[in-house]
Amino acid sequence: MMTTDPFALFDSWFAEAQASEPNDPNAMALATVGGDGQPSVRMVLLKGHGPEGFVFYTNRESRKAGELGEGAKAALLFHWKSLRRQVRIEGPVSQVSDAESDAYFASRSRDSQLGAWASDQSRPLDARGTFEARYEDVGARFEGSEVPRPPHWGGYRVTPERIEFWQDRAHRLHERRLFVRHGDSWSEGLLYP
């Protein structure tokens, strides 16, 4: 029988991390797998969360986006060193709506908006100056107007099927709580450390 809602527990831990982590408490490792079976992991920033899933944004022509195609699954990892805690999340991935992507893009700084237009994320770059020149060109293009969301940029949502909460304990006798989704409900259990 589940004694705790995993999303309420995540909210509590995340609030503590926001109060204690010196940098980017919303940073999470995103693990994907390419069509060749090669795993890949990188840090991204959590930009929304709740029972429907955990949301981040990126260039949809990047390597990670290519690995998040139809039917893809992903894993997320939050590591809050100051709290000696981790949260692991696994589940299928879907794109967020255009309206949700538009709303988040509009909340970004203008420089970040321009950067989204200027970057061919994950593609080879001949020289840093090339990217900087593209950034300046995009700035001139949108001078005096709002910067719209590029059509190749948007959000992804990982809908959790498994959420594990790991708490460091003395003598490496750590506590691991695992929540597993079963349709619309969750089961909870413990794992050996």
Taking the CA atoms of the chain, what radius of gyration do you get in angstroms? 19
Position 30, amino acid: L
Contact (Cβ atoms closer than 8 angstroms) between residue 90 and residue 160 = yes
Phi-psi region of 37 (alpha: psi -120 to 50; beta: other; left: phi over 0): left
Q: pLDDT truncated to tens, each residue of the chain (193 aa)?
A: 445 799 999 999 999 999 999 899 999 999 999 989 999 999 999 999 999 999 999 999 999 999 998 679 999 999 999 999 999 999 999 999 999 999 999 999 999 999 999 999 889 999 999 999 999 999 999 999 999 999 999 999 999 999 999 999 989 889 999 999 999 899 999 999 9
Contact (Cβ atoms closer than 8 angstroms) between residue 86 and residue 78 = yes
Token readout for 7 is: 């999303």
Q: Which residues are tagged catalytic?
A: 172
* Domains in the chain: ranges and CATH: 6-105+152-191 (2.30.110.10)
DSSP letter assigned to residue 172: G
Contact (Cβ atoms closer than 8 angstroms) between residue 89 and residue 76 = yes
pTM given for the model: 0.93
Residue 11 to residue 17: CA distance in whole angstroms:
10
Residue 30 to residue 90: CA distance in whole angstroms:
10
